[in-house]
Amino acid sequence: MYFPCFRKNANAAMLSNYEVFKLLTDLKEKRKDSGRNKHSVGQQNLNTITYETLKHLSNTPCSRQSPEIVKEFLTTMMPHKLTNRAEKLQLLNHRPQTAVEIQLMVEESEERLSEEQIEELIQTVSDILPGDPEQQNVAPAEAEMDEGGEQS
């Protein structure tokens, strides 16, 4: 608990999970190279928070994103009537795949978006943001089973 330092602007900008993921990954690399005082008592807190935050973020969609993907996502999102920056941010961070998830992140989605628009949104999110490769391998296998029942 620290009572500091004068705070100029408490919410200067919101960061996407990807930006923080990249920042911490780069920081880790830089500190690995310098090596000399990584383990000193003072640096222990930075090590801990870096390790744990990366651990959490690596299980989320942001670990598969890049600056190009984020830029493409924001450009494609423009015509979708999502006025709120926070809404786009949540879609980017979570990569929702169902209408129920969209409704959680987009305020009053039932009034603002039709069913087709929600489907479109899910499709855009799915197309631009890379998903979990483990999960994606399941879907094609099921499709094969449906089509060719006799094939072994």
Which residues would be at the binding site for another protein (CB under 8 A)?
Answer: 1-17, 19-20, 23-24, 27, 37, 42-43, 45-46, 48-50, 52-53, 55-56, 60, 86, 90, 93-94, 98, 100-101, 103-105
Q: Smallest gap, in angstroms, from Cβ of residue 72 to another protein?
A: 21
Contact 122, 98 (CB under 8 A): yes
Nearer to another protein, 142 or 150 (CB): 142
Q: Smallest gap, in angstroms, from Cβ of residue 1 to another protein?
A: 4
- Could you identify the residue written with the tokens 């390790």? 51
Q: Smallest gap, in angstroms, from Cβ of residue 116 to another protein?
A: 20
Task: Phi first, then psi: give them for residue 95, nearest 5 degrees.
Answer: 50, 65
Query: How far apart (Å, rounded) are the C-alpha atoms in residues 69 and 63?
Result: 12
Nearer to another protein, 103 or 124 (CB): 103
Nearer to another protein, 25 or 117 (CB): 25
Cα-based angle 69, 72, 73 (whole degrees, multiple of 5) = 85
Nearer to another protein, 78 or 100 (CB): 100
Query: How far apart (Å, rounded) are the C-alpha atoms in residues 82 and 148?
Result: 41
Q: Smallest gap, in angstroms, from Cβ of residue 107 to another protein?
A: 8
Cβ neighbours around 120 below 10 Å, total: 14
